[in-house]
Each structure stands twice: as structure tokens, then as C-alpha cells.
Amino acid sequence: MEIELLKDIVVVFALSAAVLFIFHRLKAPTIVGFLLTGILAGPQGLGLIQATTQVSDLAEIGVVLLLFTVGIEVSLKDLMKLKKYVLVGGSLQVLLTVLVVFLILMALGEPAGEAMLLGFLISLSSTAIVLRIIQKKEQFDSIYGRTTLGMLIFQDLAVVPMMLVVPLLPGAVQTEATSPIIIAAKALGLLAFVIISAKWIMPKVLYHIAKTQDRELFLLSIVAICFAVAWMSSLAGLSLGLGAFLAGLIISESPYSHQAFGNMLPLRDAFTSFFFISIGMLLDLNYLVQNPGYIILIAISVMALKAALAGFAISVLGLPLRLAVLVGLALSQIGEFSFILSQVGYESGVLTQDIYQLFLDVAVLTMGATSFLMAASPKVADGLLLLPLPERLKNRSQSLSTMTSQSQKDHLIIVGYGVNGRNVARSAKAKGIPFVIVETDPEIVMHEGMNGEPIHYGDAAQENVLQHVDIRAARVMVIAISDPAATRRIVELARRLNSELFIIARTRYLEEMKPLHELGANDVIPEEFETSVEIFTRVLERYDVPRDEVESFIGELRSDSYEMFRSLSVQPYCNANVDLITDEISTFRVFAGSPVSGRSISEAGLGNNGVKVLAVHRDLLTIANPDEDFRLKVEDVVILMGPEKKLSVLGNMFQAPKENGSHRPSR
């Protein structure tokens, strides 16, 4: 039996892939590609999608997941640091827009209820589109990104009172189900639940879930929380998207927010495509073709008005003109919450059919233009600064440098808080080096966090976790975990995000060194080698070798060996296809009077029976792949590779004769 929805899903993804491929080649915004996909596949286009209701439901899931991740990323503590710009700037922008639109429409003879509702609709911007663009440009930590985010959050929260007011507007059909008193009571109850959950319930629940170290359980729990709170929100008469945003806020205050965000990204990206496609499907091409100039003129007027009012709100706060322009253009489109409000207003009788369709067409056009406007906004801002405007307007007294987020710079990132990670952190603290820790063990995160350590729960192999610890501003990263595959992923990701970062990776085995160097690690510390050094140090102590000689020997051994390791990782000493898993690499020093001193490699028999001479260190030079006639001198350091037993036998040949009274170790 054919499933109509499945066919439509195939059409959506196939057409999206084709359109996005073209847009990628043209370097055009992908959001516009999704909107165009909806126009082409929708009932007003080619009519490829039949199950429009089901596709709209999938789009609603996309909005839920998108706003859930937005809520996770919002830190209430960080927003409180910018409360002036969130509360004052956001409220000023919304109130000014509603008031100006209302007055303009009233002057044009529109009904009061319709004018007020259109003011609501136009005052809201698209959190989905704007934050997606800011995320891609990695501007969240800038004052521009944080101010824009704060105003968007205020707009999203303003939907709550707007939802309560719509049924009370003149012309609305009153029903018992839409009683504002009931909705207000339910909304207050939901907000109380969110506050209690965020502070007392959710951190403990997520702690016990994360403690199991089961990724599937963690993911399913996060998804359940998201949709459960969204469902509760819908029961309260509010939107699913707003409930999802509140669910994200609940998790955002826990130590597990960044891991949750990383887990939800694939689901979010898949379903948000349906949202943008469904918006494109709403566009009535016939209405647009019949009134192109009229609709485009209204869309341009709406964007210009919103940009001007938002920029004015920013300017009133004392921020520079350039920032006002950037934020104003970023907020100039109509948002996704407006579609929800418009549907409520249409069903309530406040909006007529013609006005409703006009609003949809204008909203889609403003959304489609957002990417281009935000891309051009820096040039627009720079152009305005060239105009003969008052200097006081161009450069406010408040410096932008004091407004940027308190992100770290030149800090150390420690991945893993085991024995090695703790020692690195202790050393950094003793020397006053700023550092931050990333750890996946919830018990460690909870305990160390209570002790004041700068520790975060998350998987460092996920980009958003590294972004949270300011990977681009870091100077050094130490990867001190025992998972080879995860170590490789972290090295590759860290190098891609910060080409200047000095990466030190710990690994267990020598054979893992080369891949890590090739992925971008600067230094790789093989635990296998360091363990052997520590073991032999204990052996030397038991033979009463003086401590200063032991330390000198260990220093030389490490220096010589790590120089060889680095060379081996970039350009192998030999071209033979050797198995580093079964063969051992050992270092030997040539002592005076030893059997190999003054002899060639062939005369000493070092290249026989599966043993390979990889290199010889002499003074400050390294001779790779020496030939059989190469003669060894006293104090040469020879690097051999071969079976462990054979290397142990050959090691005796490097020692001085017993009659010389030398008992210095050779390995």
C-alpha cells in the first residue's frame, strides 16, 4: 500500500538536495533554497506534494526542535549580564513597531483590531533564520550576536501576552476555549514548572541519566523532555514552539546542555528543512503574479520600517551607529511566530482572507531577503558611517570592547580530567595559566564544579562543545583521554576550528602517533613509551644509580626519542612496510669500549634477523636510514626496530665491557 506522506517526504528531500546543490554552487543562502523548494513543490507551484497537512505537521516538529536548541543555547546568566539590552532594547523595539504600524494602518482606515494584530505580526522577527545565519558566521560571542539574540528572545517571550490579547481584540470571535483568564493561569503554571525544573529537578534527572554513559538513553531522554514540555505548552493554549523553547531553557542551566545540543543537531537540521519548505508552500503565486509591485513594495516598506525602528531602539541604548544598522537589518524580516499568531487571528475573525494571504506573501518575501540583507549589512553600515552624520551618533561613548562577552583568550583547553588532566590543570593553576576543562563523566563534572573548577560536561568531538570553550581563542589544547578514535576526531576538529592552536595529544600506543600528527597534532605523547621510561627509572634506582645520572639519562632519552617520533610521523625513516603493532622501537647509546663502537652497521650485525636501523643521532644531526657501511661512534644514539627479544639481546652489544667498571644502562 502506498503511503502518501512517504512519497512527499522523498519529493521534499530529493528536490531540496537538487535546489541546495545549485544554490551551493551559486554560493546563495540555503534558506532561500528551502523556500524556493516549497514554492516549486507546493500546490501553487508544480503540485508535487499532496499530503500538505502532514508536511505542515513535520514543519511544526522542525520549529519545536529548532526553538528547543535555541533555548538550550540561551544562558539566563549571560542574558542577565545584558539585561539592559534585552529588556529595554527588546521591549522598546516591539512596542515602537506595534505602535507605529497601528497608527499607520488606522490612518489608512483599517479596523482597530486588525491594525493591532498586524502590529503584533510585524514586530516579531525570525529567530529561526537569524540565529541560523549568526551560527554559521560564528558571531554569537560578539556584541552584535548577543544583542540580536537578546532582542529575539524578548520577541519570542512577547508572544505569550500577544497570544492572550488576540482573543480580546475588536472583531475577534470569543469562545470559552480561548478565555484569556484560563490561558493566563495555565501559562503561569507552565512558567512555574519551568523555573522549578530548571533549578531543582532537571539537573538531578540528567545527572543520573548521564551517569549511565548510555548515549541512546541520553538522546531519548532529551527528546522526551523537549516534546513533553512542548505538549504541556499546547495544553496551556500556547504554541508548541514556545514550549520547546522553555524546555531548552530548563536544560540550558544544567551542566549537560552542550552535550544535549550536540545530540539534537542532526534531528534539528533534518526537520527544520520542512519548516522552511512549508513556509514556501504557503506562498500564493497567483496572488503574487497578479500584484507583484504592490506586494514587493509592501515587503520593502515593512523591512525598512522594522530596520529603522530596531536600529533606533539600539541607538537609544547608547550603542554605535554601525551596530544599530547591523542589528536593525538582522531583525527586519517577519518571524515564524507571526505565522502562528496570524493563524489564530484568522481563525478568530480578526484578519480577513485577503489580508491573511497578503501577509503570508509579504512574510515569505521578507524571510527570503534576510540572508542577502544580513550579508550586505556590514557594507551598508560602513557606507552610512561615511555620511556627514554627527560624530556623537557614529561613535557612542560606550566602548564595544567593554560589551563583548567575557570569553577567554590564549587559554588552555584540557580534554579529559583523569590523572593526566588533573596534573595539567594543577600545573596551569600554579603558574597562573587560564584553563578550561571538558569532561564526559557527570560525577567528575558535578564534584569539580562544586569545587570551583572551570569544568564543562560534553563530548569534545562535537563542534558546539569546543565552540563553548572558545576554541578559536585558545592557545593550547591538551587531549588526555583514553579513546583513540575520539582523540583523532577531536584533533581533526580542533585543527579545523583553530589553525594556530598548539595541540598536545596523549595516546597509548606508538602506532597511533602518525595518524594524530597527520590530523594536526603538534605533539603526541605515547603512553607506551612514557610507561617504559618510568619503569626503567625505577630499575635504575634499584641498582643504586645516582639520581642526577638517572635524570640526565631520562632527559637525553626523551629528547632523542621524541625527535625521532616527530620525524617518523612526518617522513618515516624507512620505506619498508613494517608492523608497528608487533615490532618495538628502542633507543641505544654507544658507550666507549662497547662491541659496536667503531664498527659499521653490517660488521656489528645490527641489520640482521628482522632488526632494522631506523636512524642514528650524532651530535645535533639525525641520519635516517643509514647504510650498512655507516660506522658508529661513541655517544651515538641508535634507534632500532624489531622483535623485543632480539632487541634485548642486541642491547648488550652497546654496553661497555665489565672490566671497565661501567654499569651504565644501554636502553
Q: What is the pLDDT of residues 251-285, one digit of tens each?
A: 887 888 878 888 888 888 778 778 778 877 877 77
Backbone angles phi, psi at 605, to 5 degrees: 70, 30
The side-by-side arrangement of strands in the sheet containing 637-642 is 584-589, 637-642, 612-618, 621-624
Find the mean pLDDT for residues 18-43.
Answer: 79
Find the mean pLDDT for residues 580-589.
Answer: 65
What is the rounded distance in angstroms from the CA atom of residue 246 to the CA atom of residue 227? 11
CATH topology (fold) of 4-394: Na+/H+ antiporter like fold (1.20.1530)
Specify the range with the lowest mean pLDDT, choosing from 23-37, 186-200, 578-592.
578-592
Q: Which CATH architecture has domain 412-507?
A: 3-Layer(aba) Sandwich (3.40)
- What is the model's pLDDT at position 108? 93
The band of 142, judged by pLDDT with boundaries at 50, 70 and 90, is low
* Assigned superfamily of 537-660: Regulator of K+ conductance, C-terminal domain (3.30.70.1450)
The band of 24, judged by pLDDT with boundaries at 50, 70 and 90, is confident
Three-class secondary structure assignment of 289-338: HHCHHHHHHHHHHHHHHHHHHHHHHHHHCCCCHHHHHHHHHHCCCCCHHH
Residue 662 has pLDDT above 50, yes or no: no
Residue 326 has pLDDT above 50, yes or no: yes
Find the mean pLDDT for residues 596-613.
Answer: 82
The pLDDT mean for the chain works out to 78
Residue 469 has pLDDT above 70, yes or no: yes
Read off the pTM.
Answer: 0.54
Most confident of 85-89, 134-138, 638-642: 638-642
Which residue has better confidence, 402 or 567? 567
The band of 664, judged by pLDDT with boundaries at 50, 70 and 90, is very low
Q: Would you say 297 and 304 are in contact if contact means Cβ atoms under 8 Å apart?
A: no
- What is the model's pLDDT at position 93? 94
What is the rounded distance in angstroms from the CA atom of residue 44 to the CA atom of residue 404? 46
The band of 171, judged by pLDDT with boundaries at 50, 70 and 90, is confident
Residue 581 has pLDDT above 50, yes or no: no
Residue 325 has pLDDT above 70, yes or no: yes
Residue 75 has pLDDT above 90, yes or no: no
The DSSP secondary-structure symbol of 502 reads E
The band of 114, judged by pLDDT with boundaries at 50, 70 and 90, is very high
Residue 316 CA: distances (Å) to CA of 85, 92, 625: 10, 9, 72
Find the mean pLDDT for residues 605-612.
Answer: 78
The band of 574, judged by pLDDT with boundaries at 50, 70 and 90, is very low
Which residue has better confidence, 536 or 186? 186
- What is the model's pLDDT at position 3? 67
How many percent of the chain have pLDDT more than 90?
13
Name the residue ranges covered by the structural domains of the chain: 4-394, 412-507, 537-660
Residue 560 has pLDDT above 60, yes or no: no
